[in-house]
Structure 1
């Protein structure tokens, strides 16, 4: 891109900051009208609640702000790349997206979309598409080079369904071809695809892997979304109500950049809300399965949910705690009959237990809704924890930019 073209793109930053969601909402409507087949790729629940439109608007804004040096966005590119490979996004689909994005800029901005501006954004998008698809090809190659690895969709059999609580059920997924499954980093997720008759669409959803790597199966632990007909909860509820042991589902290979840093001597603090504990449980099981216990740093497990009835993995947590690893637990129930050591009434609060939270050189892993993460991230930073030591993953498309 020329210097003048970069300046033209940067000049749209104020407009994107104020009207970005209007632009991306128009873009998605336009794209699904002309290319309805892409509805099978995108999470239509996130379309309905506008999370995807907001996430795309923030991504476009960030790209425009850093058009002179897109390399600063590499962590974001990596995160989006993992999500795209989990959805089997391919280079040819970038061309479709680009065509509709440029057309949307022209249609939304009207006369302000001069030929020079349109050309600048066209070149900028091609540059971004090349950056993204190039990185995603590296991720695809890494997946297929693993023992038991693959790219795209692969059929898996539900061998076992286990109720972990009144709301959460685990699904044990084995490859239908009888082969091995690729290892993964604790904290990663898979995409699962089902056909939704209500929408007449195939729909993918991401679910964190809730077990340590074992080479034989994957486990996901899914929360029932009570009383919803919203697309956001349709796949989760269909898994609970209609998918039975012996049924086949499609999975993509494990992906995700929210992973356990495997330096066993470093203290670790896990902080989760509700079903947000699932990737952290994979991390904890991974730690429990190592032979590094003599050098292992202290581990603090902090979890909040409504009540004991909805608290999944509480027995497994006790089992791991009794296995000899240096584990301290703090459980918060909104509805608790009593308080005792390690059991607290109310929402998760870190200040009363900060002696078990603020550990020297610790790394922190947070997972849950965006407000939950933002609250506890702020507490940690205000108490001197370096942002690079705080790792987090929120539910749904990324909306937090804390690091």
Structure 2
């Protein structure tokens, strides 16, 4: 427990973190990887370069400082991050390294403003926060290993099938190399894939949502190939998976993780909204609903550029044809001439509130959505404008968590 003086000091630094948080976390990662380059085997290099990891950490530190006198308030954030840490293989022994580096970064950025008293208070606070993470993650490691078909760390899986789903998305069906059982998962969860790419100094780990229903003897991930776009370089892992990994190859996989999961106890209608490759957890949820809760009404909405990049469409349409409680709608912002000739979509342009209200059968639904961040900001804004309660709005970031409270952007 922290004493009142320490709590008061930590809370007094909240305004400073608002201003300098990202600068501190940027310096933190620079120092961390300079002093401990072995950690580059764990962290996503692309997220570092794009600044997403720094922002996510700054937000987490800011939230911890705000609620330092009631850390129970941030347990949902601790669990969300804990899932990612367990999936990546971050352990208790990493936390002292992180703590020492974070304190050094605060001192480096704030200079004389970071007095010995402030640094000491943050050292004590970090110890309490780290203990919360370590405790939650220890339970997750134990559960992942002891569940039926579970395991610790990374396990070799063979690619038993590789399927091109669209111009940019390919599915990989993964079965354990040892022929043993595999852990079940909740629809919406993900696995981590660890790759040693020839010519690369460090291991690369990426997390991919499972795109099929649980209960199969395999896991399926559907991966978008991230090509060069303006100032953003091509995705090393996604390109390698698309171009180099073939059937019979072996990939190292962590047990399923993640807290963005379908509430299967809720019997109300559900609306699943996706953009681009964000449809992968939505398809897992849809297949699960069709198999286990055939009375529950489902509206499935997917936004894509056009039919050429629209993956898994056939699977969704087949489910909708077989189950009258499922309705599926497509929104293309740049339909091809073939799309137009085939009338292959329900709306041209972007998802807007008027269209959403016209196709969602019952407003009193639970809403799940996933996709590019600008897309999610808009969907979140539309649902809030419609008056959907926050408790019924659920979403997942691909990569480090961010904020959806900025100005909405076109989807």
TM-score band (shorter)? over 0.9
Q: Residues of 1 paired with 2:233 and 2:124: CA distance?
A: 35
Q: Secondary structure at the match of 2:93?
A: helix
Q: Distance in 2 between matches of 1:88 and 1:325?
A: 43
Seen in structure 2, the aligned counterparts of structure 1 residues 156 and 387 have a Cα distance that, compared at 3 Å, is: same
Spell out, residue by residue over 1:86-119, the C-alpha distance to the aligned partner (whole angstroms, 9 max, x if none): 0011000011111111111122222122211111
2:309 match: 310
TM-score normalised per structure 2: 0.93
1:49 match: 50
- In terms of mean alpha carbon deviation, does 48-57 or 141-150 score higher? 141-150
Paired residues of 1:288 and 1:325 also in contact (CA < 8 A): no
Tell me which residue corresponds to 1:392. Answer: 395
Unaligned runs of 5+ in 1: none
Counterpart for residue 327 of structure 2: 328
- Confirm whether residue 84 of structure 1 aligns to residue 85 of structure 2: yes
Please give the root-mean-square deviation of Cα atoms over the aligned residues, in Å: 1.7
SS of structure 1 residue aligned to 2:143: helix
Which whole-Å CA distance do the structure 1 matches of 2:97 and 2:234 have between them? 25
Structure 2 unpaired stretches of 5+:
406-411
Distance in 2 separating the partners of 1:246 and 1:342: 36
Report the counterpart of residue 21 of structure 1 in structure 2: 22
Q: Deviations over 1:196-244 (max 9, x none)?
A: 3454110101100000012411000001112369677110110001111
CA deviation vs aligned residue, 1:253-307 (integer Å, no higher than 9, x gap): 10001001113631010110000000000001111222x42xx132111101111
CA distance in structure 1 between the aligned counterparts of 2:259 and 2:266, rounded to whole angstroms: 19
Corresponding residue of 2:290? 288
Q: Among residues 355, 359, 366, which one is paired with 2:358 in the alignment?
A: 355
Question: Contact 1:44–1:232 (CA<8 Å) still a contact in 2?
Answer: no
**Pair 1:230–1:353, CA change in 2 (3 A):** closer
State whether structure 2 residue 166 is matched by structure 1 residue 165.
yes
Q: Is the Cα contact below 8 Å between 1:45 and 1:230 reproduced in 2? A: no
Instruction: Tell me the equivalent position of 2:211.
Output: 210
Match of 1:249 in 2: 251
Contact 2:377–2:404, Cα closer than 8 Å, also in 1? no
Q: Compute the displacement of 1:335 (Å).
A: 2.3
SS, match of residue 322 in structure 2: coil
Q: CA deviation at 1:324?
A: 2.1
Give the Å deviation of 1:354.
Answer: 0.7
**Distance in 1 between residues matched to 2:139 and 2:390, nearest whole Å:** 28
CA distance 1:355–1:298, shift in 2 (3 Å) = farther
Aligned to 1:260: 262
TM-score by length of structure 1 reads: 0.95
Pick closer, same or farther for the CA change 1:313–1:144 going to 2, 3 Å: same
Partners of 2:42 and 2:88 within 8 A in 1: yes
Instruction: Flag as ranges the 4+ runs of structure 1 deviating above 6 A.
Output: none
- Tell me whether 194-203 or 273-282 shows the greater mean CA deviation: 194-203
Distance 2:33 2:187 in 1: 35
| Contact 1:330–1:343 (CA under 8 A) maintained in structure 2 | yes
1:72 paired to 2:73: yes
User: Partners of 1:76 and 1:394 in 2: how far apart?
Assistant: 13
> 1:97-150 CA distances to partner (integer Å, 9 max, x unpaired)?
111111111222221222111111001001011000100111112212211011
Partners of 1:27 and 1:104 within 8 A in 2: yes
| 2:379 alignment partner in structure 1 | 376
Give the match for residue 366 of structure 1. Answer: 369
Give aligned pairs, total: 399
